[in-house]
Amino acid sequence: MATAGAAHPSRDGFSEELKQGAWKLLAAGDTRCISQVETPGMQALLRRVRDAAEGSPRPALTSLEDLAQLLALWRPRAYGKDREQAYLTARFGSQRPALLHPSLAPILLPTHNELLYADQVVQVLRLFGFTHAWADRYRRALATGRRAERYAMGHELKDAARLRRWSDEQINAILALLQEHAGYLYAHGHALALAQHVFHQACLKLDPATAPTFFAEVLNNGGSAHYGLGAAVEEARQWGVLLLPPCINRSTDRYAVVDPDAFELLTAGSATSISGAIRVPLTAIRGLGTQTVRHILQMRAVFGPFTSLLDFLRRMEPQQINRRELQVLIRLGAFSFTGRSRAQLALVEHIYASAGELLRATDRDPADLAHLEDELPELLGGHTTAVEWPPERVAADELAHLGFYVVPNDVQQHALRIAEEFSTLDIAALAGQPHNTVLSIAGVITALRIRPTKKGEQMAWLTLTDGTGAIECAIFPNAFARLGQPTMVLREGAFLVATGKLAHEETTGSKLWIDRVTTVGGVGARQEALRAALEYRQADPAA
């Protein structure tokens, strides 16, 4: 078994400096989007290990064995608070831990007097002269609950221990230790493999050259396993990886890394803080059918990129894409390559659709569309002079149809100011907060039900959504009465700051019992934009 002082793993392509940074990243608990270690509990454990190592000559986390031991310690049904404290005391304390029997030292001292691996169960049993096969059979009997077999083999174990002059107290203690954890332990090799995977992910996340690819794979797998898709997008953005809006000419069916030197990166944010970008796929759009996506990709593969909205509508048959799907694509900027704003295209898309149908009926060559593309804007006159929608409207459409904000804009800056002023938390971060904590969140009301209680008092159930997730909230009668004019404050599409008590319920998940609501001004455009989300939810309840 490897010891806690094992050497750094060798991973081609990662410098020693980056590896050291990856260990520091893990020790700090900055592990969102890294599988196995991104849960709030595991993040807290990593930080407690770091804190325990302060003032100790032993480092917190420097090897795969260190990490494997923490993964084994945290395994569900194997973890216990007392067990963690004993482990940390033995690992970072100045005194050597007391053993049940001196012969256990080679087995338990490498894991700081804790039984962490299934292999150790077999090693303990072999101390009493049993074969590996017998020891593994006894381990499996403990794990599967075969009581009769375990009882008979336990008698053999006691007899063998007495022959080796173990006291009854020591025998009972070792039996209790084996029975407590035998069914919930990782194999040592499995724990090391998980640790290797975790460390490799940390290196990929930390390295600017690989961060875009790392986050693209995270998004292709549904986002953060614990926090969801929106939280993964926000995490990517914090690490200098931007998301670019879907495009009918560039998006595929997966999140794909974009050339970091692309012109769009220069317009999306500060070029000095960007390590790369990811293109949102067409399959990520809520309200765009899989058959529609397939037709778009096939049409593009066979006939080449679309040259304009009119070209797109000429090629796509009405039965292949309906008007609502077309409007969603326009709202998300999928036709930005045309040089016309979303607002302009949204106003005239029905005219383009009619023109496309006419060209399709007359079987006109798409190469002949150039002059028509120039003539239509002049024909439409005032409509095409419409400016782009405000950032709040664009961001809300992104939230409605993608579940996250795509590019940094004024809305995010507004959200940062709100977070600073009201000390709000991201909804995705609530899972790591203790039960009954009083806190504040900022978000959009995407679902609302106002109903009377059995006593005839009014209360409200609502869902608040931000760029990282959503949470169900309740405003009970006393708090509801303090709203003054509830119908002015509570309405679908309203943006507000809610303060209340967080409740973690085992069966229904986390909820917020709201005590105070603060409306945030200047959000008319956002409220208007949320109409798209509400229309979509009403049209497709399964979404």
pTM of the shown model:
0.77
Please name the amino acid found at residue 142: L
Which residue is it, tokens 């609302």? 448
Q: Number of C-alpha atoms within 13 angstroms, CB side, residue 86?
A: 17
For 234-292, how does the pLDDT look when each residue is reduced to its tens digit (9 = 90+)?
888 888 888 889 999 999 999 999 876 654 554 454 444 678 889 999 999 988 999 99
- Average pLDDT per run of 10 along the chain, which is 543 residues long? 39 80 93 90 91 88 94 82 88 82 90 90 91 90 80 89 91 86 82 95 93 94 83 85 91 89 51 78 92 94 89 84 91 88 82 73 59 60 63 75 71 63 82 88 82 91 81 92 81 82 80 88 46 44 43
Which residue is it, tokens 């000419």? 249
Query: From CA 174, how far away is CA 169, in angstroms rounded?
Result: 9
Q: Number of C-alpha atoms within 13 angstroms, CB side, residue 259?
A: 5
For 395-418, how does the pLDDT look when each residue is reduced to its tens digit (9 = 90+)?
778 877 888 878 655 555 656 666
SS3 224: strand
Domain segments of the chain as ranges: 16-188, 210-284, 292-388, 407-539
Query: From CA 252, how far away is CA 503, in angstroms rounded?
Result: 40
Query: Which residue intervals of 28-131 are DSSP H helices?
Result: 40-53, 64-74, 81-92, 105-108, 118-126
Q: DSSP of 464-532, one letter per residue?
A: EEETTEEEEEEE-HHHHHTTSSHHHH--TT-EEEEEEEEEEETTTEEEEEEEEEEE-SS-HHHHHHHHH
Query: From CA 520, how far away is CA 1, in angstroms rounded?
Result: 58
Q: Does domain 407-539 have CATH number 3.40.1280.10?
A: no
pLDDT at 369: 56
Q: From residue 333, give the alpha-carbon distance in Å to each of 106, 108, 254, 388, 404.
A: 63, 60, 18, 11, 14
pLDDT at 375: 63
pLDDT at 271: 43
Q: DSSP of 439-463, one letter per residue?
A: EEEEEEEEEEEEEE-TTS-EEEEEE
> Going by C-beta distance under 8 Å and a sequence separation of 6 or more, which residues neighbour residue 33?
201, 205, 214, 215, 218, 223, 224, 232, 235, 236
pLDDT at 367: 54
pLDDT at 284: 93
Give which of 196, 179, 178, 190 is closest to 120, Cα–Cα: 178
pLDDT at 444: 78
Identify whether the C-beta of residue 246 lies closer than 8 Å to the C-beta of residue 332: yes
pLDDT at 541: 43
Query: From CA 352, how far away is CA 307, in angstroms rounded?
Result: 14
Give which of 358, 345, 368 is closest to 314, Cα–Cα: 358
Quick one: tokens of 23?
Answer: 């260990």
Give which of 345, 336, 448, 465 is closest to 405, Cα–Cα: 465
pLDDT at 126: 92
Query: From CA 231, how far away is CA 427, in angstroms rounded?
Result: 9
pLDDT at 325: 92
